[in-house]
Amino acid sequence: MFQELKNLYHLFQAVLANLYYDFPSRKLKVIGVTGTDGKTTTTHLIYHILKFSGKKVSMVSSVYAKVGEKEFDTGFHVTTPDVFPLQKLLYESVKNNDEYFVLEITSHALYQNRTFGIRYKAGVLTNVSREHLDMHHTLEEYTEIKSRLLKRAKYAITNADDSSYPQIKDQSASWRTKLITYSLKKDSSVLKDFKDLPEFNKYNYLAAFHACRLFGISEKAIIEAIRTFQLPKGRYEVITTKPFTAIIDFAHTPNGIFEILKEVHKRYIKKGNRLIHVFGSAAQRDTTKRPFMGEASGTYADLVVLTEEDYRDEDPVKIANEIAEGLKKKGFKEVQLDDFGKKTKEFTIITNRKKAIEKAIDIARKEDVVIATGKGHEISLCRGDKEYPWDERGVFYDNLRS
C-alpha cells in the first residue's frame, strides 16, 4: 500500500513537472535505455555516435548528465534523476536546440512513474538478469517493468539472445511499437573488425548501432564513431598492467560479475598467475542475489576479498557471509587475514574497502590480476546514514605508488 501511494505521488509530481517545463520531451527525439547490465555503456555510446555524426545531443547516465558542453552531477547512487530535475534537464536540452536526448532509465524509475510523460522515439532494452527482486519479486515481473519503456516508444530495440526475449516478444504483440531485435548471430558482420571487443560489450555496441541506424546514421559513420569511443569511467577500466594488472568495474549483479570476470580471465589469466577479486553487495537492494554473486565470482576468481559496498543499515559482515555461501558452493574456504593469499580457492573478509583493496594489492604477484567491482565511478560510500568520500581509482593509484 505504501509503495502504491509512493507511485501515485511520483505520478502526480511527473504531471506537474511536465506542465511546468511545457512537456520538453515532445520537442526532442528521446532515446531511452534500460536493462540490468550495460545500460550506461549503451547510453554513452549512442550519445557518442550521434555527437560524432554532427548531431546536437544531450544525455543523462548514472555517471553524469551532459547538456551541451555542461556536465551535471546527478547525485549519489543515482541513475535516473527525480522528476523535476529530470524534466529540467530535458528543458535545458530544448533550450540548447538539441535534436536528441539519450536517457538511461532504471526499473525503479519506470515502476515509480518518475519518467511518466516522457515521449520516446526509441526504447532500448539491453538484457534482464537477476536484480531488484526485492521490489519486483520475480524475473517475469522485473521484465514486465523494464518492457514498459519499449511499449511507450515508437521503436523498441531488444536483445534477441537474452532470456527475456520470449516474454518481450509475446508482450509486444499487443503494442503499437515496432520491435527491432539484435543478436550476435544475426549481426555478426557489424562488428567483424572489432576482434578484441569483449562479448558483453558486443551486445551494447549492437544495441547502439541499431538505435542510431533508426535515425539515419550510416553504418560507415557508426563504425567510425565506435573506433573512437572510450568506455565510461569505472567500466572495465584498466588502472595498470605492470607489475600486475589492476582493474575497476561497476558490475554489481551476478550476471555483471560473471561477464566481467569471464572476460578478464580470458584476456589476462595464464598458467601461474591469479585473479584476485574484491567486492561486496549494497544494502537496501535485492538481498537474494548475494549468494549468486558469490557463485559468479567463484567461477573465475582464484582469491576473493569480501568487503563493504554501501552497507547502510546492515551489518557488512552479515552481507559478506551471505555472498560467501555462493563462494563455498564453488569450493572456496574462508581463511584468516594473515594466511590469505598463500593458496587459491580462498576468501577472507575485510569490511573496510580501502584496506580490502590494499590487501589485494599487497598479495598480488607479478602478472596477477586484481579487480574491484561494484563501485566503479561512484564517489561515495554509504555507511549507516552518512555518505563518505570515495575514489576507487585513487585508492589503487595511491597504493601502486607506495
Q: What is the pLDDT of residues 63-72, one digit of tens each?
A: 999 999 999 9
Choose one of 194, 227, 260: the last residue of a domain. 227
Q: Which three cell numbers stand for residue 28?
A: 526532442
Distances (CA, A) of 78 to 85, 227, 320: 12, 29, 24
**Is residue 120 domain-shared with residue 248, that is, in the same domain?**
no
CATH number, residue 59 = 3.40.1190.10
Task: Give Cα separations from 240 to 100, 244, 246, 267, 361 (angstroms).
Answer: 36, 7, 5, 14, 12
4 pLDDT more than 60:
yes
pLDDT, one tens digit per residue, over 153-186 is 999 999 999 999 999 999 999 999 999 999 999 9
Query: 193 and 292: one domain?
Result: no
Count of domains in the chain? 2
Grid cell 544531450 — which residue? 58
Strand pairing class (237-240; 245-249): antiparallel
Q: Is 297 part of any domain?
A: yes
The 10s digit of each residue's pLDDT in 264-312 is: 999 999 988 999 999 999 998 889 999 999 999 999 999 999 999 999 9
Do 264 and 137 fall into the same domain?
no
Burial 16-45 (b: 16+ CB within 10 A, else e): ebbeebebbbebbbbbbbbbbbbbbbbbbb
Same domain, 261 and 207: no
The model's confidence at residue 383, banded by pLDDT at 50, 70 and 90, is very high
295 phi-psi bin (left φ>0, alpha ψ -120 to 50, beta other): alpha
Kindly state the average pLDDT of the residues 218-237. Answer: 95
Say if residues 130 and 256 touch (Cβ distance below 8 Å). no
For residue 373, how many C-alpha atoms fall within 13 Å in the half-sphere facing its CB? 29
Classify the C-alpha dihedral 115-163-142-128 as positive or negative.
negative
> What average pLDDT does the structure give for the chain?
94
Cα 356 to chain centroid, rounded: 23
Residues 272, 215: one domain? no
Q: Which domain holds residue 292?
A: 237-401
Same domain, 222 and 241: no
Which pLDDT score, from 0 to 100, does residue 73 have? 86
Assess whether 193 and 258 both reside in one domain. Answer: no
Asked whether the predicted pLDDT for residue 85 surpasses 60, the reply is yes
Distances in Å between the Cα of 381 and the Cα atoms of 35, 51, 72 are: 24, 33, 20
First vs last C-alpha separation in the chain:
54
pLDDT at 6 exceeding the cut of 90: no
- Name the domain boundary from 195, 227, 259: 227
Count of CB atoms situated within 10 Å of the CB of 187: 18
Classify residue 16: in a domain, yes or no.
yes
Distance CA 20, CA 88 (A): 9
pLDDT for res 392: 97
| pLDDT tens, position by position, 310-359 | 999 999 999 999 999 999 999 999 999 999 999 999 999 999 999 999 99
Residue 76 per-residue DSSP state:
T
Residue 161 lies in a domain: yes
Q: Is the pLDDT of residue 26 over 70?
A: yes
The mean per-residue pLDDT over the stretch 182-195 comes to: 90
Whether residue 332 is found in the same domain as residue 295: yes
**Which of these, 260, 245, 233, 230, lies nearest to 373 by C-alpha position?**
260
**Half-sphere exposure of residue 25, counting CA atoms within 13 Å on the CB side?**
24
Statement: residue 89 has pLDDT above 60:
yes
Give the pLDDT score at 78. 73
Q: What is the DSSP string of 90-123?
A: HHHHHHTT-SEEEEE--HHHHHTTTTTT--EEEE
Same domain, yes or no: 223 and 276: no
In a domain, 232, yes or no: no
pLDDT, one tens digit per residue, over 38-64 is: 999 999 999 999 999 999 999 999 999
Integer Cα distance of 128 and 150 in angstroms? 13
CB atoms within 10 A of CB 137: 10
Q: Are residues 168 and 21 in the same domain?
A: yes
Q: Is 329 part of any domain?
A: yes
- Write out pLDDT tens, residues 95-152: 999 999 999 999 889 999 999 999 999 999 999 986 655 665 788 898 999 999 999 9
Residues 383 and 355 in one domain: yes
Instruction: Decide which of 227, 253, 282 is a domain's last residue.
Output: 227
CATH number reported for the structural domain that contains residue 309 in this entry: 3.90.190.20
